[in-house]
Amino acid sequence: MTDLYTKIKEVTELQGLPGFEGQIRDYLRNRMTPYIDRCETDGLGGIFGIKESKDIDAPRIMVAAHMDEVGFMISDIKADGTFRVVELGGWNPLVVSSQAFQLILADGRQIPAISGSMPPHLIRGSNGTSGLPAIGDIIFDAGFTSKEEAWKFGVRPGNLLVPKNETTLTANGKNIISKAWDNRYGVLMVAELLENLSDQNLPNQLIAGANVQEEVGLRGASVSTTKFDPEIFLAVDCSPAGDVFGEQGAIGDGTLIRFYDPGHILLPNMRDFLLTTAEEAGIKYQYYAGKGGTDAGVAHLRNSGIPSTTIGVCARYIHSHQTLYNMDDFLQAQSFLQALVKKLDRSTVDLIKQY
């Protein structure tokens, strides 16, 4: 587990907001290159490693994470030197205030910043409570005395604010607390998949990598599936755990069989393939109905229709600075993904696509 924790710490402490995924793309390129035949990017910046097959008429299988995490972009610099923002990805306003951020300037420099909050002393006139703020009203502060001073330091509208957090291991050694497990989970899954399958001839052409701009509307998946035209699409993504809220999704209970979300319904033949493979491989899994979407929601509608699913894990408190998740869930998901990819030969793919 120590080696896995080290890998997780490395990838979760990288920074990559929607449209600005360069650090993550570089990480994946370096991790993938020794184990693939070639590397390709799409026009928005998605990156994929291609592993060819020696089999005749090998089907094209796409395994896709997404590189981006949630954060903010400066929309306005106020006269007093503070900022207002637009959100990049979904945020609960309750978790935004009083947090540490890195303000990333256009030249790559980083400046410490925080999100403001209203002290209780200043809200006593409203019975000691304040209303839920809109994201656009939350103050972000890097300590500048004026708009002119902020401008002099290079701050501009369009600069990024990335959550700042150190990845740590919980006391029992089973779980991790970090930012961005959604979806550095998927990025690490892809890297580990290609390394573990590097010396094997697969019964398919494997196209494995990560999309951009998932958190702002599943944009990258539309581009990459159009470019590579896979016959099967496996999204690799992290979902919210509801265990502490009395809902579905428990950390430590294994990978997810995600049978429904608002943008995707698991097809019967794909469901049977997933369940049969999980049982044969001894994978620990749980059923999961998603309340948000993944890249599978876009991918399955592209080209002539692409049977899709999501190979996932769940984590507590996602889309915040502090996400808590289980390391064994990652290992279960990785074993599951490897087993699926190894079985996706021409006859299996044709059976999944049979109606």
Confidence label for 133 from pLDDT (cuts 50, 70 and 90): confident
DSSP track, 11-63: HHTS--BTTB-HHHHHHHHHHHGGGSSEEEE-TTS-EEEEE--SSTTPPEEEE
Q: What pLDDT, on a 0 to 100 scale, did the predictor assign at position 117? A: 76
| Segment (H or E) for 8 | helix 2-12
Confidence label for 2 from pLDDT (cuts 50, 70 and 90): confident
- 4-16 tens-digit pLDDT: 999 999 999 999 9
Q: What does the alpha-carbon distance between residue 23 and residue 25 come to, in Å, rounded to a whole number?
A: 6
Where in the chain is CATH 3.40.630.10? Answer: 2-69+179-352
Q: Which CATH number is 73-163's, of 2.40.30.40, 3.30.479.30, 1.10.760.10, 2.40.37.20?
A: 2.40.30.40
Report which of 36, 50, 41 is spatially closest to residue 21, judged by C-alpha positions. Answer: 41
* Residue at token pair 């070639």: 38
**Which positions make up the binding site?**
66, 182, 215, 237, 319
- Count Cα atoms within 13 angstroms, Cβ side, for 241: 21
Work out the average pLDDT over 233-238. Answer: 98
Confidence label for 132 from pLDDT (cuts 50, 70 and 90): confident
Q: Give me the catalytic one of 21, 87, 214, 231.
A: 214
**Which positions make up the binding site for Zn(2+)?**
66, 182, 215, 237, 319
Is 279 considered catalytic here? no
Work out the average pLDDT over 24-43. Answer: 98
Report which of 253, 212, 241, 191 is spatially closest to residue 8, judged by C-alpha positions. Answer: 191
Q: What pLDDT, on a 0 to 100 scale, did the predictor assign at position 286? A: 98
Q: What does the alpha-carbon distance between residue 347 and residue 334 come to, in Å, rounded to a whole number?
A: 23
Work out the average pLDDT over 227-245. Answer: 97
Count other Cβ atoms within 10 Å, centred on residue 299: 30
- 240-290 tens-digit pLDDT: 999 999 999 999 999 999 999 999 999 999 999 999 999 999 999 999 999
The CA-to-CA distance between both ends of the chain, in Å, stands at 43
Where in the chain is CATH 2.40.30.40? Answer: 73-163
- Which CATH code is given to the segment(s) 2-69+179-352? 3.40.630.10
- 289-347 tens-digit pLDDT: 999 999 999 999 999 999 999 999 999 999 999 999 999 999 999 999 999 999 999 99
Contact criterion met (CB below 8 Å) for 37 and 183: no
- 70-110 tens-digit pLDDT: 999 999 999 999 999 999 999 999 999 999 999 999 999 99
- pLDDT reading at 146 higher than 60: yes
SS3 (DSSP) at 197 = coil
Work out the average pLDDT over 130-142. Answer: 87
Task: Kindly report whether the global pTM for this prediction surpasses the value 0.85.
Answer: yes
Count other Cβ atoms within 10 Å, centred on residue 34: 10
Confidence label for 210 from pLDDT (cuts 50, 70 and 90): very high
